[in-house]
Amino acid sequence: MLLQIYLLNFAHCKRRIMISAAKIKLIHSLSRKKYRIENGLFLAEGPKLVDELSGRFPCTFAAGTAGWMEHHRGFRANQIECVSDAELAKASLLQSPQEVLALFRLPDTTGDIHIAEKELCLALDGVQDPGNLGTIVRIADWFGIEHIFCSTDTADVFNPKAVQATMGAIARVQVHYMHLTGEIAGLPAGVPVYGTFMDGKDIYSTELHKSGIIVMGNEGSGISPEMENLVTERIGIPSFPAGRATSESLNVAVATAITCSEFRRRNAV
């Protein structure tokens, strides 16, 4: 029985080889933006995430366990290697490696794209934490927001921690980096620019349009003064009960979620 299982695994894993030291070095280097750009690659780990991304980004390399290989015979990549759990752990950036890791071609995120005025979209003004950024991409996907526009000092969405936190949503939501205040300043008059502030108008009772830009700020300092000047609608999420001493603020991904939820609740189709 054990021999059978071994042979079965072996059959799906003809080239069970070590991941080369050079490849491991490359994989680890992709935690830094400089090397992602230099190599034109980003890293994703785990079966669900790798599956979702493979439908959207060309995969150049995948290293999977025999179990993963067995269920992914049709998986397309320039190079696929079947590895032991120990080999995978050596290459992985995760504390608990998950069956497969893969390298994908890095897309261009600085193309000549502009804010679509007729949709609801998100603008991130200096969000620093890759986990928060990835979670925001997942939230955008859930609420049907297709584009996120980021200031150049916002974290890179292809940071491995951000990619993992998107849970695959990065395959559907497009993230663009740009001179954000310049872009927003150039919008036609009448396009609403929403920003959340402690003293903003109660989001539950203020008017919310179907389209517009929702600006979310930095974790520590919030929306920058330059951006604040461009906000046309100051909104806020009330704490409960009103006036009670509480946390100073909500986490930026949490505030994004509540804001997007409230926009979509009003305009459900």
Q: Which residues bind its own copies (CB under 8 A)?
A: 131, 135, 138-139, 141-144, 165, 167-169, 172, 204, 237-242, 244-251, 253-254, 257-258, 261-262, 264-265, 268-269
CA dist 256 and 206 (Å) reads 17
Q: How far is the CB of 93 from its own copies (least distance, A)?
A: 15
Closest CA to 127 of 112, 139, 144: 139
Q: How far is the CB of 109 from its own copies (least distance, A)?
A: 20
CA dist 141 and 217 (Å) reads 19
Pick 179 or 266: Cβ nearer its own copies = 266
Pick 65 or 132: Cβ nearer its own copies = 132
Distance of CA 16 to the CA centre of its chain: 32
Q: How far is the CB of 27 from its own copies (least distance, A)?
A: 21
Q: How far is the CB of 196 from its own copies (least distance, A)?
A: 13
Q: How many other CB atoms are found less than 10 A from the CB of residue 183?
A: 18
Sign of the CA dihedral 66, 170, 59, 42? negative
The torsion of the CA quartet 10, 15, 19, 23, rounded to 10 degrees, works out to -150
Pick 25 or 265: Cβ nearer its own copies = 265
Pick 175 or 230: Cβ nearer its own copies = 175
Pick 70 or 262: Cβ nearer its own copies = 262
Q: How far is the CB of 227 from its own copies (least distance, A)?
A: 23
